[in-house]
């Protein structure tokens, strides 16, 4: 199992997918992608962060798709099927995370709808986090 | 504070000419110098707004333009701030004039762009968010524009018809602008029949990538007086602000917003803050604005900007558009140049081109697209990675 990027998400033995963020040990600010070391809160001088598993569910902030194959370094599937993207506001984490959407098209999505973190393969094999229908 | 004035403005027409960016920059610079009545050899300071897709000369564009025009020993600077590069270049030149370190400066930006979507600079760069968003998500720039557009539809009930009406308005203005790339008028039916690119945005909702060049000659008031310039356009403000943490809007090229869990989001989101800082510096407000050039990367985004710069409350830009108030001949024309809808984007030239339009309008020299009695012009823009760009110019 190859992940398309190390340290940004994890897949448990039962297949459950988590985004890995960081929490500042001084002010509690959460960040994704993980910010190891410095905190981005301008009023915090914290330099220690802890890895945090972010909430797996959230509500759609917005969504779109890519009707034409995105340029490199994206590896587009052949034949190409539009990539659906959703920006999801994570429950209780105060941030919105963008991801591809698995098994749903723009016709299935609505702003405010609940989605759950899953994973799926890029066209050349490695796995990436994705948003999927809430179970 | 004594003012900095725009002595000259010049452009190379936008298009897809396929020639080196230096040619466009030099043509624009020469046009601006002619317009100003200033000899190149009298320019004391040159600032280039950089392009990152044209090799080393693009990264040191101040020197590239100075060499192409002929070395004179003038001091130079080069800067990059994505789409906001032009505003930064203007700001660097004007602050040097305000500091009394020079009297007259030339600011140049130009680009030569490949066909199709912008893609990241080459190489495997796993620590570069701009590379990673393509690699992991396939999120090209229109994806972000699509997210904003869909969000706007959900929040305010905007429709594809509203977006098409923006394109129709801007294409009409662009048809009157000899510097624009797209000069044909379009109908809403044509926009709505163009292929979907990033739902809900269609091809004609999204700005193209273009070649083009723009330049301005800036000077101190005293220098302008010595030159005999009567009532030159004044630079009342340049805002190059960054966001305030936590930025709750998903910005290009990011994977996520800042978190509002520990610190609440600021009262004024980033785009609104860009314009607000310019108003504060100019001592003016949205009610004073005669016309605005806003960064319509998409038709939907123009509507967002109209609200962000305070021309109407959030959610009411569609109504303003439908009433014709933002069209040429309306109460406060938006993108009288034709905007990106008519130009396409030549990144480092674009904010300078906005200032050229401000200058032409405030001089009363905009021809068929003149905003009658224009006194105050606002230009706003945003560069990825947190670069604000706003300019207020006055008669």
Rounded to the nearest angstrom, the minimum Cα separation between A4 and chain B is 7
* B117·A71 Cβ contact <8 A: yes
Handedness of CA A45, A56, A128, A69 (dihedral sign): negative
pLDDT at B47: 98
Under DSSP, is residue B309 helix (H, G, I), strand (E, B) or coil?
A: coil
CA-based nearest residue in chain A for residue B125: A73
Shortest CB distance from B137 goes to which of A24, A40, A85? A85
Examine the pLDDT at B93 and tell me if it is beyond 80: yes
Model confidence at B126, in pLDDT bands (50, 70, 90)? confident
Tell if the CB–CB gap between B146 and A41 is shorter than 8 Å. Answer: no
Check A71 against B119: CB less than 8 A apart.
yes
Enumerate the β-bridge partners of residue B72.
Answer: none
CA–CA separation, B333 and B290 (whole Å): 7
- ipTM value > 0.95: yes
**What's the whole-number mean pLDDT along residues B54-76?**
97
Q: What percent of chain B has pLDDT over 70?
A: 100
Partner-chain contact B126 A5, CB within 8 Å:
yes
Q: How far is B93 from chain A (nearest CA, A)?
A: 29
CA A133 to chain centre: 14
Compare all CA atoms of chain B with the CA of A66 and give the residue at the minimum distance. Answer: B198
- The reported pLDDT for the residue numbered B124 is 84
Decide if pLDDT at B87 tops 80. yes
> CB-CB: which of A32, A33, A67 is closest to B198?
A67
Contact A128/B146, CB-based, under 8 Å? no
Whether residue B246 is preceded by a cis peptide bond, meaning omega within 30 degrees of 0, is: yes
Contact A122 B136 (CB under 8 A): yes
SS3 assignment, position B135: helix
Asked whether B188 and B168 are in contact (CB, 8 A), the reply is yes
Separation between Cα atoms, residue B310 and residue B376, nearest integer Å:
14
DSSP track, B138-197: ---HHHHHHHHHHHHHHHH---HHHHHHHHHHHHHHHTT-TT-S------HHHHHHSPEE
Least confident of B48-52, B69-73, B112-116, B385-389: B112-116
Record: contact A98-B263, CB cut-off 8 A: no
Q: At what angle do helices B160-174 and B299-308 cross, to 10 degrees?
A: 90
CA–CA min distance B158, chain A (Å): 14
Q: Is A35 helix (H, G, I), strand (E, B) or coil?
A: coil
Alpha-carbon distance A113 to nearest alpha carbon in chain B (angstroms): 12
pLDDT, tens digit, 9 for 90 and up, residues B129-184: 999 999 999 999 999 999 999 999 999 999 999 999 999 999 999 999 999 999 99
CB contact under 8 A, A41 and B260: no
Closest-CA distance, A13 to chain B, in angstroms, reads 23
Q: Do A64 and B198 touch (CB under 8 A)?
A: yes
- In the prediction, which pLDDT does B274 show? 98
Phi, psi of A30 (to 5 degrees): -95, 145
Pick among B146, B201, B245, B256 to test the A interface (most A CBs inside 10 A):
B256
CB A36 within 8 A of CB A49: yes
B33 pLDDT exceeds 90?
A: yes
Task: Tell me whether B197 touches chain A (CB under 8 Å).
Answer: yes
Residue A108 vs residues A90, B52, B156, B266: alpha-carbon distances, Å? 19, 39, 20, 33
Q: Please state the rounded mean pLDDT for residues B250-254.
A: 95
Minimum CA–CA partner of B246 in chain A: A41
pLDDT at B114: 84
Flag whether residue A80 sits within 8 Å of chain B, measured between CB atoms: no
Q: How confident is the model at residue B122 (pLDDT cuts 50, 70, 90)?
A: confident
Q: Examine the pLDDT at B1 and tell me if it is beyond 70.
A: no
Cα→Cα distances A70→A131, B6, B20, B291, Å: 19, 41, 26, 36
Question: Who wins on pLDDT, A37 or A114?
Answer: A114
The answer to whether B266 contacts chain A (CB < 8 Å) is no
For residues B112 and B51, is the Cβ–Cβ distance under 8 A? yes
Work out the average pLDDT over B82-89. Answer: 97
Mean pLDDT, residues B83-94? 97
Q: Quote the mean pLDDT of chain A.
A: 96
Q: Say if residues B109 and B79 touch (Cβ distance below 8 Å).
A: no
pLDDT of B121 strictly over 90: no
- Report the alpha-carbon distance of residue B159 to residue B153 in Å, rounded: 6
- Cβ contact, residue pair B261, A27, below 8 Å: no
Residues of B in Cβ contact (< 8 Å) with A61: 147, 151, 250
Name which of B92, B69, B95 is nearest B80 in CA terms: B92
* Mean local confidence (pLDDT), B23-51: 98
Q: Is A20 on the interface with B (CB under 8 A)?
A: no
Share of chain A above pLDDT 70, in %: 100
Is residue A131 less than 8 Å (CB to CB) from chain B? no
What does the longest C-alpha to C-alpha distance in chain B come to?
58
Question: Tell me, what's the pLDDT at B116?
Answer: 76
**Of B354, B342, B346, the residue nearest B233 (C-alpha):** B354
Q: How far is B71 from chain A (nearest CA, A)?
A: 39
| DSSP class of B134 | I
pLDDT in tens, A23-40: 999 999 999 999 988 899
Residue pair B111/B212 in contact (Cβ under 8 Å)? The answer is yes
For B274, which DSSP code?
H
pLDDT band at B115 (very low <50, low <70, confident <90, very high): confident
The per-residue pLDDT for range A36-76, each reduced to its tens digit, is 888 999 999 999 999 999 999 999 999 999 999 999 999 99
Q: Residue window 107-126, chain B: list those with CB within 8 Å of chain A.
A: 116-120, 124, 126
pLDDT, residue B363, reads: 98
Asked if pLDDT for residue B300 goes beyond 90, the answer is yes
Nearest to A40 by CA among A95, A84, A89, A90: A95
Question: What average pLDDT does the segment B207-228 reach?
Answer: 97
Dump pLDDT digits (tens) for B269-294: 999 999 999 999 999 999 999 999 99
- In this complex, the residue of B143, B148, B262 whose CB is nearest that of residue A41 is B262
Task: Tally C-beta pairs within 8 A across A and B.
Answer: 151
Say if B263 is an interface residue toward chain A (CB within 8 Å).
yes
């Amino acid at each position: 199992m190859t992940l398309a990027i190390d340290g940004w998400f994890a897949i448990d033995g039962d297949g459950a997918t988590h985004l890995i963020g960081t929490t500042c040990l001084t002010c509690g600010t959460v960040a994704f992608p993980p910010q190891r070391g410095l905190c981005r809160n301008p009023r915090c001088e914290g330099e220690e962060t802890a890895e945090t598993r972010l909430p797996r569910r959230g509500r759609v902030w917005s969504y779109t798709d890519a009707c034409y194959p995105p340029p490199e370094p994206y590896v587009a599937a052949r034949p190409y099927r539009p990539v659906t993207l959703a920006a999801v506001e994570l429950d209780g984490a105060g941030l919105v995370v963008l991801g591809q959407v698995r098994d749903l098209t723009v016709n299935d999505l609505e702003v405010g709808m609940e989605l759950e973190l899953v994973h799926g393969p890029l066209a050349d094999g490695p796995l990436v986090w994705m948003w999927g229908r809430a179970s | 504070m004594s003012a900095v004035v725009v002595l000259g403005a010049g452009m190379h027409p936008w298009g897809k000419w396929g020639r080196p960016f230096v040619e466009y920059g030099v043509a624009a610079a020469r046009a601006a110098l002619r317009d100003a009545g200033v000899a190149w050899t009298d320019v004391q300071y040159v600032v280039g707004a950089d392009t990152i897709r044209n090799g080393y000369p693009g990264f040191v564009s101040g020197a590239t333009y100075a060499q192409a025009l002929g070395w004179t020993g003038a001091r130079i600077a080069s800067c990059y701030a994505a789409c906001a590069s032009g505003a930064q270049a203007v700001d660097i030149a004007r602050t040097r004039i305000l500091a009394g370190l020079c009297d007259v400066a030339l600011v140049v930006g130009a680009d030569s762009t490949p066909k199709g979507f912008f893609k990241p600079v080459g190489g495997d760069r796993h620590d570069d968010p701009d590379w990673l968003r393509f690699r992991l998500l396939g999120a090209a720039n229109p994806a972000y524009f699509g997210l904003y557009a869909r969000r706007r539809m959900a929040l305010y009930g905007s429709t594809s018809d509203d977006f098409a009406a923006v394109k129709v308005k801007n294409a009409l203005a662009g048809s009157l602008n000899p510097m624009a790339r797209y000069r044909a008028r379009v109908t809403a039916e044509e926009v709505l029949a163009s292929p979907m690119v990033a739902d809900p945005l269609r091809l004609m909702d999204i700005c193209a990538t273009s070649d083009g060049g723009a330049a301005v000659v800036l000077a101190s008031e005293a220098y302008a007086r010595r030159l005999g310039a009567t009532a030159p356009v004044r630079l009342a403000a340049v805002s190059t602000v960054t966001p305030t943490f936590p930025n709750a809007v998903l910005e290009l090229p990011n994977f996520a917003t800042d978190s509002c869990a520990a610190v609440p989001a600021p009262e004024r989101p980033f785009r609104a803050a860009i314009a607000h800082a310019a108003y504060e510096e100019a001592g003016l407000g949205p009610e004073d604005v005669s016309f605005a050039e806003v960064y319509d990367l998409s038709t939907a985004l123009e509507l967002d900007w109209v609200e962000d710069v305070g021309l109407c409350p959030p959610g009411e830009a569609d109504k303003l558009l439908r009433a014709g108030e933002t069209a040429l001949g309306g109460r406060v024309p938006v993108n009288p140049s034709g905007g990106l809808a008519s130009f396409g984007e030549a990144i480092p030239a674009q904010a300078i081109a906005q200032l050229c339009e401000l200058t032409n309008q405030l001089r009363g020299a905009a021809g068929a697209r003149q905003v009658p009695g224009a006194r105050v012009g606002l230009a706003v823009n945003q560069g990825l990675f947190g670069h604000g760009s706003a300019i207020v110019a006055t008669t």
